[in-house]
């Protein structure tokens, strides 16, 4: 890992922070050792997996798991494109090796996060500006799953992501202003992130963030500000970040062919019967 020293370090950090604010990032910092948990919207205000089906429709007449994957992928693309930041976050296709996932699943050797971005020294929010000191150190996962997403979900997909992040450039950052790897979930109202994810991530100095998607009606969805599951454990004795601003509202688009070739295809839910009919068996592969 390339290191900067002396005045160069100060200049680099100042420039990174300038870019962060210049592109509209607002980060508030509070002096507390407790975990910052923003007030989450009520469950009745969040979009559900069934509502996603209704909004997107099924103009291509997909059935079963193909339909669920197509809805999940379209939702993923819409969310990534609407997240706050200086540029649209594109869907990721790069696999990241995980020996831990391979050992547990006996099948998958890597993970493909929905979105990938960097980390910045001295910045401990969920997403980072376009200028980063540690590339490929933040994974973004968009989950529309009716149920609990835990370490074992989808053949140890999440465990594999934590394994890969523990080897990311930010994982080897040191010093009082070190960068931290992050795993950032954007979820539906009927999706729960298991506490085991936050615990294992904390043991590896990885921050876990969660944003829900608010349903304003008529297909107008908004990514809510994130809250941190394990900042209190990872950032003990340090100033903890307040959540970043809400993402902009966005309108969902009609479902189209997914064209997805990744290993970890999105899965809408586990057996929900929703609009426009019974989707079939959609248990995680």
Q: Give the tens place of pLDDT for each residue, 232-273.
A: 899 887 665 555 556 778 888 888 765 655 556 665 554 443
Beta-bridge partners for 193: 149
- Which of 284, 285, 264 lies closest to 94 in space, CA to CA? 264
Q: Is 85 left (phi over 0), alpha (psi -120 to 50) or beta?
A: left
pTM exceeding 0.75: yes
- Average pLDDT of the chain to the nearest whole number: 76
Closest CA to 13 of 177, 258, 213: 177
Exposure string for 214-233, b = 16+ CB within 10 A, e = fewer: bbeeebebbbbbbbbbbbbb
54-96 per-position pLDDT tens digit: 999 988 888 888 888 888 889 998 998 888 765 567 788 899 9
Dihedral sign (CA 244, 30, 191, 179): positive
d(CA 244, CA 127): 8
Q: What digits encode the pLDDT tens for the residues 18-64? A: 222 222 222 222 222 233 334 567 777 899 999 999 999 988 888 88
Segments of the chain assigned E as strands = 29-30, 96-97, 110-111, 115-119, 134-143, 147-149, 182-187, 191-193, 207-215, 220-223, 227-228, 240-241, 249-251
């Amino acid at each position: 890992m390339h290191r900067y020293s002396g005045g160069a370090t100060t200049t680099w950090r100042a420039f990174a922070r300038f870019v962060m604010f210049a592109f509209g990032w607002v980060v508030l910092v509070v002096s507390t050792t407790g975990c910052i948990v923003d007030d989450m919207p009520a469950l009745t205000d969040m979009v559900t997996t069934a509502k996603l089906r209704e909004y997107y429709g099924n103009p291509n007449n997909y059935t079963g798991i193909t339909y669920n994957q197509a809805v999940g992928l379209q939702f993923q693309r819409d969310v990534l494109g609407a997240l706050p930041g200086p540029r649209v976050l594109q869907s990721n296709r790069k696999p990241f090796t995980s020996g831990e996932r391979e050992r547990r699943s006996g099948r998958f050797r890597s993970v493909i996060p929905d979105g990938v971005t960097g980390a910045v020294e001295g910045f401990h929010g969920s997403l980072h500006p376009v200028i980063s000191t540690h590339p490929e150190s933040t994974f973004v996962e968009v989950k529309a799953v009716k149920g609990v997403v835990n370490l074992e979900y989808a053949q140890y997909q999440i465990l594999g992501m934590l394994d890969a992040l523990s080897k990311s450039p930010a994982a080897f950052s040191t010093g009082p202003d070190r960068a931290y790897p992050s795993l950032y979930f954007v979820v539906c109202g009927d999706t729960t992130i298991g506490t085991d994810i936050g615990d294992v991530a904390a043991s590896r100095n990885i921050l876990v963030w969660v944003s829900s998607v608010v349903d304003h009606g008529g297909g107008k969805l908004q990514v809510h500000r994130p809250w941190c599951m394990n900042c209190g454990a990872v950032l003990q004795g340090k100033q903890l970040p307040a959540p970043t601003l809400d993402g902009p509202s966005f309108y969902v688009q009609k479902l189209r062919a997914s064209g997805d070739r990744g290993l970890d295809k999105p899965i809408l839910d586990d057996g929900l019967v929703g609009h426009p009919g019974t989707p079939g068996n959609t248990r995680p592969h």
